[in-house]
Each structure stands twice: as C-alpha cells, then as structure tokens.
Amino acid sequence: MHDDQKLQNTPPVTGVSEVVLSVADLPQARDFYMQVLGFPLHSEFSMEDSVADPDGEPTITFLTICETDTPLGRGGHPQLLVLIDYQRHVHARKRFVGHDPTQTTLNHLAFEIPPESFEDHAKRLGELGIDLSFSEFPAMNARAIFFKDSEGNALELICHHSIGP
C-alpha cells in the first residue's frame, strides 16, 4: 500500500480534546491559567488513592479553554487544559518523577487568539509583569506572543496577522 492510500484510509481526528500538564504546585498553576489566560474552572477533584475523596484538596483540575461544536463538545466536554499534581495524584505519581524542563518532550503550548485582541493581550501580560517575546510567521501570515507559565512551560498566543485600517 502506498503512503497516499494509507492517508486516504486514515479515520478523521476532529480536534484536541484536552492537554494534560503535570505540575508541582497545582493551586499556583490553576490560578495562573485562570487569572492570566482567563480559562474558567470546569471541575476538579482529589484522588490521592484509587477512590476519589470529595473532601480532599484537589489533585487534578480541569480548565475550559473553549467550547467545541463536536459530538464530544455538545455532550458537555469542552476543549480542556488539565493540570495534575504529579506528586499526589494516584495515576501521575507512578508515571512521572519530577518536572525537569531538560528532560521533557514538550516544547510549548500554543493557544489561538482573535487578531483584534493581540495588542490587548500583550499590554495585559506586560502589566502583569510577565516577560514577553514576539515572533512573526510570514509563511502563515501569523504573529505570536511567547511567555512562560508559573511552572516554566513555554506558552504562545498566536493569531492571524491582520492588517490594520
């Protein structure tokens, strides 16, 4: 079978459902994404053992990036950023031993923003004291803002490079 035939036979993927980050300080990471990027809290719970503890301090937090118009999205599962306490969550602590940026395959997370909000994002992030860098991507007619989250992960806000009036 040729590569073109393999691609034609590949079932579709409709989008990214969630991105999960292992974090050392869950409350700080949650606050960063809620306050800096405006992601609302979807849900969170504590699961230090194999059974969820309704009264325990959260070990996993689900933040809504955006609602999606897919069967999963219409079923109540928006596009999510999931933050998991790798030291306490039962399923993370056995698979992840620590956060070392030199030992990760994660390069950065990119979030799309509307072109008209680019300057407002840059201004707001700067006012929050966040160190920013900017890039232009002529081949994609896009521009981006780069910065780091509270855990040191590189983040990007990217948009189509609209030409002003």
**CA–CA distance, 14 with 144 (Å, rounded to integer):** 24
**CA–CA distance, 76 with 10 (Å, rounded to integer):** 27
Per-domain residue ranges of the chain: 1-99, 101-165
**CA–CA distance, 65 with 94 (Å, rounded to integer):** 27
The residues near 148 (Cβ < 8 Å, ≥ 6 apart) are 130, 131, 154, 155
Q: Is 131 exposed, middle or buried (0-12, 13-18, 19+ CB in 10 A)?
A: exposed
* 101-165 is a CATH 3.30.2320.80 domain: no
Averaged pLDDT, 111-123: 95
pLDDT for 21-73, tens place per residue? 989 999 999 999 999 999 999 999 999 988 889 899 999 999 999 999 888 88
Averaged pLDDT, 155-164: 84
Residue 105 has pLDDT above 50, yes or no: yes
> What pTM value is reported for the model?
0.85
